Amino acid sequence: MPSTSPTPPWNVHRLPRADGRVFLITGGNAGIGYFAAEQLSATGATVVLGSRDPGKARAAGDSIRARVAGARVRAVRLDLADLSSLRTAVESLGVAHLDAVVHNAGVALDDPPRTETVHGHELMFGTNHLGHFALTHWLMPLLSAAPAARVVTMGSFAAKSERLDLDDLQSRADYRPKRTYGRSKLAQMYFGVELDRRLRAAGSTVRSVVVHPGGALDSLTPSRPPVQVRNTGARLRAAPAALLVQGKDAGAWPAVRAVLDPAVDGGQLWGPRVFGLRGLPRREPLWPQLADSGVAARLWDASCDLTGTAPGPDRRQAPPHGA
C-alpha cells in the first residue's frame, strides 16, 4: 500500500503558487492591505488593489513590483462610502472570474464629531460594513464563476469585547468613535459568518472566511517608502511592544492564508497564534457573539434595507439607495 506524505506545515514565507488566479484587496494601497497584496503577488496571481486614491494605489503597485519580480498587480478605483459607485467599480475590473476578495479597507475615526457618507450612513459603519456588504453583492457573479472562490473579511480584535445595538446601528443615539469603530468591525464579522451560512444553503461553491490581524502597529511594520515609512526612533520605542503585538506585515498573514490554504474552510475564524495578538496564523474558536445567528439574521436584513442589495448567488437586486 503506497504511503501518503503528510501535508507540510503552513509557511508564511513560502506560499503556494496561485498562477492564473485573481485576487481583489480593498484598501490594498496601505497598511495590512498593502502587505497582503505584496505577499499574494509573490504567488504568481493577479492582484488588484481597490483604493479611493489612484496616486496612492500607483505608489503601492510600484512598491510591490520593486520587491516582487514579475508581480501582476494593478489598481481599480473603489470608494466603499459611495454605494452608488460600486457596480461601476466591479465592472471596471475587466475579469471573467474572481478567486478571492479580501474585505480589508476600513475607516477609523479617533475624535468626534459623527460623520456621514453621501447616503446618510454613519461613516465607519457605512464604509466598513455596508460598503463591503454591497460590494459582495456586485462581485458575486465573478466569485461564482471561479472554481472555489473565497470572501475573506478582515475583522478586528477591537470587536471582541463589543456587542451590536441593533436599534442603533448608525450610532445616532450614542456616538463614541472607538466603540462605533469596534461595532462596525463586529458587524463585518457577523456578515462574514452569516454569508457563509447562506452560501452553503444555496449550494454555492463560494466560501466566506473571517480573519483578524491581532495587534498590528505601524511602528513594528517594515518600511516600504513611500507607502510605509518607519524611522529608527519609532522602531526603538516600539521594541518592547513586540513581545505582545506585531507589524502589519504579520497582521496580513491570517488573510493570506485564508485566501490560499485549501485547509481553511468557510465559516471559520482565523487570527494570530499567540493570545490572538501576534504570531503565525491559526484557526481559533468562533467568538460567542458571532455564533448568535439571530443577531446575524437581523443585521443582514437591516443591511439589505440600507444598501438595497442582498449578497448571494444568482440574485438580482435594485441598485443601492441614492444610486
Q: Which positions are catalytic? A: 181
By the 8 A CB rule, do 169 and 133 touch?
Answer: no
H helices of the chain, in order, are 31-41, 54-67, 86-91, 123-124, 132-144, 177-201, 232-238, 248-251, 253-260, 293-307
What is the Cα–Cα distance from 162 to 177, expressed in whole angstroms?
13
CA atoms of 83 and 127, how far apart (whole Å)? 9
**Distance of alpha carbon 290 from alpha carbon 187, whole angstroms:** 9
Cell of 67: 520587491
User: DSSP string spanning 15-72?
Assistant: PPP-TT-EEEEETTTSHHHHHHHHHHHTTT-EEEEEES-HHHHHHHHHHHHHHSTT-E
